[in-house]
Amino acid sequence: MATLNMAKRVEPRLGVLAIRFLVVGLTLATAAIHASLGGLLFLANAIGYTTLAMAMIVPGPIGRVRWLVRLALLGLTAATIGGWVLFGARFPLAYVDKAIEVALIGVVALELWRFDGGPIGVIRQARHLVARVAGAQVARGPR
């Protein structure tokens, strides 16, 4: 049974809390910037960032799939930077936000590597999750 639990349990030490605090702080900072810009796309971005920041600190069952939250945060941040590169306005606050987002990608990647075992650990966890979901579907039978 111990081999099925791929997620490493890390005790809340100062370093762990510092990294998590940095992820949440950077995420909320970019959410605040996007919320201040107005428009539905910026508001949706701010809501996405805020939701993922909350998911990074909420205890309980979501802790078992926090690696998935990290991947979603990486994806949202990369998509935001890509959208800005292609279509975004070039003004000083945009550059500040992109610097925050690049730092966010770095810190989330560090956290993903440290807590989840890097890409190989994430692939293992994804395979385990798919197997669990598929097993639950097989046990229930077709609808």
- Domains in the chain: boundaries: 14-118
pTM of the entire structure?
0.82
Asked if residue 87 has pLDDT above 90, the reply is yes
Q: What burial letters (b/e) apply to 1-32, b meaning 16+ CB within 10 Å?
A: eeeeebbeeeeeeeeeeebbebbbebbbbbbe
Q: What is the pLDDT of residue 58?
A: 93
Percent of the chain with pLDDT over 70: 86
Q: How confident is the model at residue 2 (pLDDT cuts 50, 70, 90)?
A: very low
| Residue 18 to residue 82: CA distance in whole angstroms | 28
Q: How confident is the model at residue 4 (pLDDT cuts 50, 70, 90)?
A: very low
Asked if residue 23 has pLDDT above 90, the reply is yes
